[in-house]
Amino acid sequence: MPRDEGRSPDFVEALAKGLAILEAFDATHPEMTLSEVARRVGLSPAAARRSLITLSELGYVGSRDKRFHLKPRIMALGSAFYFAARIDELLQPDLRDLVNRFGDASSVSTLDGTDVIYVAHVSVQRARRAAAVVGARYPAYATSMGRVLLAALPDGELDARLAETKFVPLTSQTCTDPARLREALMAVREAGYAATVDQLDYGITALAVPIRDADGRTVAALNTSGYSGLTTPEALIAERLPALRETASHIGHEMTRFPVLQSVLGS
């Protein structure tokens, strides 16, 4: 893990290594050996071992047959954010209203690097599909919310994010051509919304709009989604876009009343 010259002199490298290890575990890597952890995070085996021992003694990591895994205590980190930001009080009611009105699912996410991270979600869906749970991270280019957030970036920053993106065809419909994606993002910027079909996973048709702060800056995105076999982008736009924009405006207004929410979404 090379040191970034732009980092503060007070940057704690050991803490960064430990957090990187925690983030390395996911659905495709639920258990890893020491060497696998070291390779995935880009650390020496000795450095990875020290971090794993520390995380184990703190109760965040366990091991079985020389394979490491996360322990339930890790959820305390996510729940601390959830309650501190008052997600249940400030975001969930709006999402529940959308789901009660239209069915299907609704989410709020923010941009983190080249990914989106879900910070709130409500769903009545039972279909087998990519999990849109709080804390889930997905490539921004393959989601409606990600496209809204990318389109809101200044041109220079957008080009830098696209250059950093590792494009993977998650389905046969996924756009993995940077030039085509940028063209699509310009259309999103013009329209003020993004609609996607089967980009992240088969069966997901979604519509997203920006959530803006008091200065008009896009700080998050709100979406509504349905099953591709039962709806179309045109139907979502006709039936749900006005309500989606109204809800996004309400969330933006709530941010001015609750600085904590504005801080966590706008940071």
Helix (H) / strand (E) containing 235:
helix 233-257
pLDDT tens-place values along the chain, 267 residues long: 444 556 788 888 889 999 999 989 887 899 999 999 999 999 999 999 999 999 999 999 999 999 999 898 887 777 767 666 677 777 889 999 999 999 889 999 999 999 999 988 998 865 545 656 778 889 999 999 999 999 999 999 999 999 999 999 999 999 999 999 999 999 999 999 999 999 999 999 999 999 998 889 999 999 999 999 899 999 999 999 999 999 999 999 888 877 777 766 765
Tokens 């990318």 correspond to what residue?
150
Q: Which CATH code is given to the segment(s) 85-266?
A: 3.30.450.40
In the chain, domain spans? 13-74, 85-266
208: helix, coil or strand? Answer: strand
Rg (C-alpha) for the chain, rounded Å, is 20
Residue 17: CB partners within 8 Å, gap ≥ 6? 1, 41, 43, 47, 48, 51
Domain 13-74 and domain 85-266, same fold? Reply is no
Cα 157 to Cα 148: distance, rounded to the nearest angstrom: 14
Cα 174 to Cα 12: distance, rounded to the nearest angstrom: 38
Max Cα-Cα span within the chain: 57
Residue 143: CB partners within 8 Å, gap ≥ 6? 109, 116, 196, 199, 200, 206, 208, 223
Q: What's the pLDDT score for residue 129?
A: 55
pTM: 0.79
Domain 13-74 belongs to what topology?
A: Arc Repressor Mutant, subunit A (1.10.10)
> 158 with 150: CB under 8 angstroms?
yes
Q: What's the pLDDT score for residue 3?
A: 45
